Amino acid sequence: MAGVLAATSLAAMPGRSWAQMGEPVVETAQGRLAGLLDADGVASFRGVRYARAQRFMPPQPPESWAGVRAARQFGASAPQTNASPPPGPPYVITAQIPRPEGAPPPPPPLPEDEACQFLNIWTAALGHQVRRPVMVWLHGGLFYGGSGSTIDGSALAASGEVVVVSLNHRLNAFGFTWLGDFDADFAHSGNAGMLDIIAALRWLKQNIAAFGGDPERITVFGTSGGGMKAAFLMASPAAAGMVQRAAAQSGPALRFMEVEQARRATHALFAALDLPQGDVRALQQVPAARLLAAYHSVAAQMRASRFIDLPCFAPVVDGDLLVQHPFAPQPAPQTRAIPMVLGWNAQEMSFFMGADPAGFTLDESGLETRMQGLFGERAAGLLALYRQAYPKASPSRLWIQAHSDYSIMLPVMAQASRRAAAADTHGGADSFVYRLDFQSPALGGKLGALHTLEANLLFNTPRAGTAVLGEGPGPELLAARMSAAWARFAHTGVPDSGLADVPEWSRFDLASQNVMVFDEQCRIEGDPSAAVRAAMADMLDA
């Protein structure tokens, strides 16, 4: 084992680089792990098993091992790929953005397996002597897809002086099939995927100090579905005390599924598989590929009517793991003590227009037709507000703006306002709200500040996001600003970037409703989109 040193010895050898000392090895409660070391002195540990689970059952602690186990490759992601996708282009438009000239080829697809309970760690300061905040990335893809193995946490770990963690967990029918009506052994199957995340947090509480992390300063953050997962953790009694801060990027989670909704999805799944209703043991034995195909068939028939709706195979308000909705009609009591960053991107919904080319070439008649379809009798009044607010915008941009505001801005601001109102009444932690306005140059600039645009900015990896962010100093500066703000939030609970060219990010309250606007020039705006928000407010129905 030449060249392998225990993590606890690293801090005792000042003046020597890790590269001189060999590969990083850490002692965990289960056994020793050997990671990788990059040229900038950041150690990564990949594919670390944090739990094991039988199908639909709660996760159990991982087994221990003797010797040193390699942690240099990402573990399997949850089963999710549709073997028979619908015809036509993908609805996610980033698939149409060309790769920059000279960019390396995309990595091969990640393996998928039910035994997907793996996490990844990036740290620039190993050992118990260092206690850096821990930032746990919860991947997007709502609750049906995605992987924690698609990000690189090394730059954020180094520049933000934090320990970065990402993780995989069970998804779709494997992680969120409600079976509690049929067998008490499966009482928590409807939230099995969230139990995986809680098991990962439990593993971090036990082990992250050996990686230089502070188990008492854990921030969960995520985009889209990742932000929704953060809300579940904030509200769940099973996660109480495990999360000290939370950040949700374009992932408002006012409500989750009711049991009756979950029942309908489960009955449809049994029918799609031609199994007797309630035969849980038979469902456990269905080959994974067949179960996944049935899931995709059912999900195609139970589509969401809007972004925040979760019609099937998503977390369930079960009265135990989740006693009430996180932020509807008011914030759940447990959520009030957790400081929160939340926000949205200005033109979110262009991201979902990959199969809607006509949406980018609308004339006035086409715009009015779409507004009527989405807003009904409110359409004319809302369109007048948008034309007044954006007098130079094309019909397509007005449509994208209205659809984005309704889908994500409106529930984000509702979540922030409900938190602020609860804090005024009951006391509670601060909220910090942002909007990302930076305009992507991709596809001729028609996408604007699309959904997920912030990912490479938060991880301080703008060059990896050149295809959507473009080149030059603008993305580099914005990445430095945003990653610094999120890292400082993990350190202190206040997202003060400490940079001279960024104004102080004041907390959100009902009087000012201040929002930090991230762009090439950052600024604070009070109550943006107030008129539109007032006109749409009662459309949340939650």
Residues 165 and 42: their CA atoms lie apart, in Å, by: 13
Task: Compute the mean pLDDT over every residue in the chain, rounded to the nearest whole number.
Answer: 93
CA nearest 145: which of 243, 59, 226, 34?
Answer: 226
Same domain, 363 and 226: no
Domain ends where: 275, 301, 327? 301
In sequence order, the 6+-apart residues with CB closer than 8 A to the CB of 326 are 231, 232, 234, 235, 253, 254, 255, 256, 332, 335
For residue 542, the model assigns a pLDDT of 63
d(CA 518, CA 434): 7
Are both 400 and 513 inside the same structural domain?
yes
Q: Do 212 and 88 fall into the same domain?
A: yes
d(C-alpha 213, C-alpha 205), whole Å:
9
Burial of residue 263 (CB within 10 Å: 0-12, 13-18, 19+) is middle
CATH of the domain at 75: 3.40.50.1820
Tell me, yes or no, whether 111 lies in a domain.
yes
- Asked if 390 and 293 sit in the same domain, the reply is no
Between strands 245-249 and 431-436, the pairing is unpaired
Exposure string over 136-164, b if 16+ CB within 10 A, otherwise e: bbbbbbbbbbbbbbbbbbbbbbbbbbbbb
Please determine, for residue 1, whether its predicted confidence score (pLDDT) is greater than 80. Answer: no
In the listed set 278, 301, 324, which residue is the last one of a domain according to the structure? 301
In a domain, 352, yes or no: no
Any domain includes 483: yes
pLDDT at 45 over 70: yes
* 6-15, 234-243, 416-425, 453-462, range with the lowest pLDDT: 6-15
- Residue where the block lists tokens 């809302």: 382
Kindly state whether residues 145 and 240 are assigned to the same domain.
yes
pLDDT digits (tens, 9 = 90+) for 188-226: 999 999 999 999 999 999 999 999 999 999 999 999 999
For residue 102, give the amino acid letter: G
pLDDT at 8 over 90: no
Predicted confidence (pLDDT) at residue 227 exceeds the cutoff of 90: yes
Element containing residue 389 per DSSP (H, E): helix 379-389
Answer whether residue 265 is part of any domain: yes
Residue 326 placed within a domain: no
What is the secondary structure of 273-298 as a DSSP string?
TT--TT-HHHHHHS-HHHHHHHHHHH
Let me know: does 346 contact 437? Beta carbons within 8 Å: yes
353-367 pLDDT per residue, tens: 999 999 999 999 999
pLDDT of residue 11: 35
Task: Report pLDDT digits (tens) over 425-440.
Answer: 999 999 999 999 999 9
- Total domains, the chain: 2
- Does 150 lie in the same domain as 278? yes
If asked whether residues 116 and 182 sit together in one domain, one would say yes
9 is catalytic: no
Its domain, for residue 108, covers: 25-301
Render pLDDT for 296-309 as a digit per residue (tens, 0 to 9).
Answer: 999 999 999 899 99
**Which whole number is the average pLDDT over 466-483?**
96
Is 184 strand, coil or helix?
helix
* Both structure tokens of 197: 């995340």
pLDDT score, position 22? 64
206 and 273 inside one domain: yes
| Band (9; pLDDT cuts 50, 70, 90) | very low
**Do residue 278 and residue 426 come from a single domain?**
no
The answer to whether 313 touches 173, Cβ cutoff 8 Å, is yes
Q: Is residue 388 part of a domain?
A: yes
278 and 147 co-located in one domain: yes
Residue 512 in any domain: the answer is yes
Question: Over 70: is that where the pLDDT of 20 sits?
Answer: no
Band of pLDDT at residue 7, cut at 50, 70 and 90: very low
pLDDT at 351 over 70: yes
- Identify whether residues 290 and 369 lie together within a single domain: no
Nearest to 206 by CA among 50, 36, 67, 63: 50
Last residue of a domain, one of 301, 323, 350: 301
The alpha-helical segments, DSSP class H, found in 165-279 are 172-175, 192-207, 225-235, 259-272
Percent of the chain with pLDDT over 90: 89
Mean pLDDT of 71-79: 97
d(Cα 145, Cα 506) in Å, to the nearest integer?
35
Helix (H), strand (E) at residue 492: helix 473-492
Is residue 208 one of the residues assigned to a domain? yes
* Separation CA 254–CA 228 (nearest Å): 9
Identified catalytic residue from 166, 224, 236, 417: 224
Same domain, 254 and 383: no
Of 339, 121, 147, nearest to 211 by C-alpha is: 121
